[in-house]
Amino acid sequence: MSKIAVYAGHGGTDFGAISNGLYEKDINLELLLALTSELRRRGYEVINNRTTDVNRNLGADIRRANSQDVDAVVELHVNSNMGIPGSGTETYYSVTGKGKELAEAIQTNLVALGFRDRGIKVLPNIFGGDYLGIIRETEAPAVLVETFFLNNPQDLSLYDPQKIALEIADAIGELYPVTSLKDDQIAKIQTTLNTLYEAGLVVDGIYGPRTKRALIKGLQRELNTQFNAGLLVDGIFGPKTKNALVNVRRGARGNITYLIQSALYILGYDVIPDKIFGVKTERAVRSFQQENGLNVSGEATREMQNKLFSSI
């Protein structure tokens, strides 16, 4: 089951933006409550930083997200400015690129409600890291949504917490789907990832973001152990990991073959992961290459694996 942290900015003695008797902290909380109930209705596990008007504690909020091993963090704010009112939505993600896809999905959906598109953004500090602690310090991808301008009457006329909650929940659903069927083979893959890489997965037979991360971590570990790749084992299939991939072909045996087979299985190809790159695996690789417009060789080339591990 996917687990999401939904946090509200400000609270208690920190009012955030104030405009025409409206306090940002109250709007943020209203959005948090609407999004939380929508996500729970859809079957998500949700944690919050506050559900009433109390001070927030950023450090505690970060620790909670990390210790609860959430899949993503969504922090809700509304904007305001001095002078002629600004307008529209902007969504922040990490300078490392973490959270970019979620930011994009949320931004696209909120703009569809009629808010002006101010774009997705990063906010670096003087060291080049993230200025926003919630984005810098959380292990899971974190985004901060500046939903609209509180001091803009037009934006305010578009404000409907339920509608905003539906759009953000849809965006979360695109990247962290909640429904998937239990599957014995997925349970076996989870058990193997736990045994080989101390992945600590719950063996529930449901493929989700945590199993994906464990699989990528396994791949990074294998590339480090077998090929001295020197990768950071972070479960993120980024440019360095992609560069370190090695071609694998029929006759190969071992853990990298197992991870390739698992990824093919997850994507619905007819292969049972057994660490042996045989005829059936080769056939699955061919199908995958064909369906993805790649050179159809039956060899799990770096190009093929790049597409494969990006697709799971």
Binding stretches for Zn ion (CB under 5 A): 9, 16, 77
Nearer to Zn ion, 147 or 305 (CB): 147
Rounded Cα gap, residues 191 and 196, in angstroms: 9
Q: Where are the beta strands (DSSP E) in 94-178?
A: 117-121, 142-149
User: By Cβ distance, which residue is nearest to Zn ion?
Assistant: 77
Rounded Cα gap, residues 181 and 171, in angstroms: 21
* Residue 8 Cβ vs Zn ion, minimum distance, rounded to whole Å: 9
Nearer to Zn ion, 16 or 208 (CB): 16
Burial class from Cβ neighbours inside 10 Å (0-12, 13-18, 19+) for residue 122 reads middle
156-165 burial, b at 16+ Cβ within 10 Å, e below that, comes to bebbebeebb
Nearer to Zn ion, 16 or 205 (CB): 16
Nearer to Zn ion, 9 or 161 (CB): 9
The CA radius of gyration of the chain, in Å to the nearest whole number, is: 22
Nearer to Zn ion, 77 or 118 (CB): 77
* Residue 27 Cβ vs Zn ion, minimum distance, rounded to whole Å: 10
Nearer to Zn ion, 56 or 77 (CB): 77
* Residue 53 Cβ vs Zn ion, minimum distance, rounded to whole Å: 15
Nearer to Zn ion, 9 or 235 (CB): 9
* Residue 160 Cβ vs Zn ion, minimum distance, rounded to whole Å: 19
* Residue 148 Cβ vs Zn ion, minimum distance, rounded to whole Å: 12
* Residue 29 Cβ vs Zn ion, minimum distance, rounded to whole Å: 12
* Residue 141 Cβ vs Zn ion, minimum distance, rounded to whole Å: 20
- What does DSSP say about strands 89-92 and 142-149: parallel, antiparallel, or unpaired? antiparallel
Nearer to Zn ion, 20 or 67 (CB): 20
* Residue 214 Cβ vs Zn ion, minimum distance, rounded to whole Å: 35
